[in-house]
């Protein structure tokens, strides 16, 4: 089936089987390998991407479902060579170790901060509770989201 999807701002047209999962479409047809596969039960969230502004687990969607829609992956977070504040904050606060959960975690964090720009620690932990991490113990991820929130707020203020 022919689908046209706006991925990171660019229209991409492909012919895919209906059963092809969105995560496989992104990784193997489009070569965007930032989204990963980590489980069989929609539990881990390393496949998370953003569809029409909302994070979804791309292993639990068919590519054909995003025909005509827009998808943002980690590869689309930076703009004009500038890291997204969330990406910069993850680096600043050592919010990653092996990096496997990081793309999904950052996309969820960025979408969350758009909805809640000044979150508490509790709210952050709740927001990322659909994304598992084995390496960091989450504390530095929380710090990264707090730092990103502060930096995004001060950028706004100065504008």
Partner 1 sequence: MFPSQFEYHAPASLDEALALLAEHADEAKVLAGGQSLIPLMKLRFAAPPIIVDINRIPGLDGITEEGDTLRVGALVRNRALERSELVSARYPTMAAAAPMISDPVVRNQGTFVGSLCHADPQGDWGSVMLALDGSVVARSQAGGERVIPIAEFIDGPFTCTLRPDELAVEARVPDPGDDFAGTYLKLERRVGDFATVGVAVFLAMSGGTVTKAGIGLTGVGATNIKATAAEQALVGNTVSDSLIEEAARLAADASDPRTDVRGTADYKRDVVRVYVARGLRAAAGTPVA
Partner 2 sequence: MTTMETAPSAEHPGWMGKSVKRIEDARFIAGRGNYVEDVVLPNMLHMAILRSPYAHAKINSIDSSAATALPGVVAVVTGELLAQHKLAWMPTLSGDTQAVLATDKVRFQGQEVACVIAEDRYVAHDALELIEVDYEPLPAVVTPQQALEEGAPLIRDDKEGQVDNRVYHWEAGDAAATEAAFAQADRVVSLDTFYPRSHPSPLECCGCIADVNPASGKATIWMTSQAPHAIRTVFALVAGLPEQNIQIISPDIGGGFGNKVPVYPGYVVATAASLLIGRPVKWIEDRTGNLISTGFARDFHMTGELALNNEGKMLGLRVKMLSDQGYAYADAQPSKFKAGLFHMVTGSYDLPAAHVITDGAYTNKAPGGVAYRCSFRITEASYLIERLVDVAAVEIGMDPAELRRMNFVQPDQFPYRSATGFVYDSGDYAPALDLALEQAGYTELRAEQAARRASGATKQLGIGIASMTEALGAGPSRDYDILGIKMFDSAELRVHPTGKAILKLGVRHQGQGHETTFAQIVAHELGIPPTDILVQEGDTDNTPYGLGTYASRSTPTAGAAAALVARTLREKARKIAAYLLEVAEEDLEWEGDRFSVKGAPEKVKTIQEIAFAAYTNHPQGMDAGLEGVKYYDPPNLTFPFATYLVVAEVDVETGEWKPIKLVAVDDCGVRINPMIVEGQIMGGLTEGYAMAAMQQITFDEDGNCIGSNFMDYLIPTAWETPHFDLYDTCTPSPHHPLGAKGVGESATVGSPAAFVNAVVDAVAHLGVRNIDMPVLSSRVWEAIHHAQG
Judged by beta carbon, residue 48 or residue 102, the one nearer partner 1 is: 48
CB 16 within 8 A of CB 1: yes
Q: Which of 7, 8, 45, 102 binds partner 1 (CB under 8 A)?
A: 45
Q: Verify binding: residue 21, partner 1, rule CB under 8 A.
A: yes
- Quick one: tokens of 154? 């001060």
Task: State the nearest-atom distance from the C-beta of 67 to partner 1, in Å.
Answer: 8
What span, in angstroms and rounded, lies between the C-alpha atoms of 159 and 18? 45
Dihedral of alpha carbons 70, 78, 80, 12, sign: negative
Judged by beta carbon, residue 65 or residue 92, the one nearer partner 1 is: 65
Q: Which stretch binds partner 1 (CB under 8 A): 52-60, 71-79, 140-148, 149-157?
A: 52-60
Judged by beta carbon, residue 15 or residue 19, the one nearer partner 2 is: 19
Give the alpha-carbon dihedral of 134, 135, 138, 143, to 10 degrees. -160
What span, in angstroms and rounded, lies between the C-alpha atoms of 55 and 18? 21
User: Looking only at residues 61 through 120 of this chain, which bind partner 2 when binding is defined by CB under 8 A?
Assistant: 73-75, 77-78, 83, 87-88, 90-92, 94, 96-103, 106
Q: Verify binding: residue 136, partner 2, rule CB under 8 A.
A: yes
């Amino acid at each position: 089936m022919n689908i046209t999807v706006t991925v990171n701002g660019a229209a991409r047209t492909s012919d895919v089987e209906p059963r092809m999962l969105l995560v496989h479409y992104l990784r193997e047809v489009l070569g965007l390998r930032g989204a990963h596969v980590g489980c069989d039960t929609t539990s881990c969230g390393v496949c998370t991407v953003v569809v029409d502004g909302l994070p979804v687990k791309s292993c639990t969607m068919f590519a054909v479902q995003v025909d005509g829609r827009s998808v943002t992956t980690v590869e689309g977070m930076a703009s004009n060579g500038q890291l997204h504040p969330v990406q910069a904050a993850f680096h600043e606060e050592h919010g990653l170790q092996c990096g496997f959960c990081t793309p999904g975690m950052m996309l969820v964090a960025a979408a969350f901060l758009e909805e809640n720009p000044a979150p508490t620690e509790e709210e952050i932990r709740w927001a990322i509770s659909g994304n598992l991490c084995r390496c960091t113990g989450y504390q530095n991820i929380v710090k990264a989201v707090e730092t990103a929130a502060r930096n995004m707020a001060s950028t706004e203020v100065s504008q």
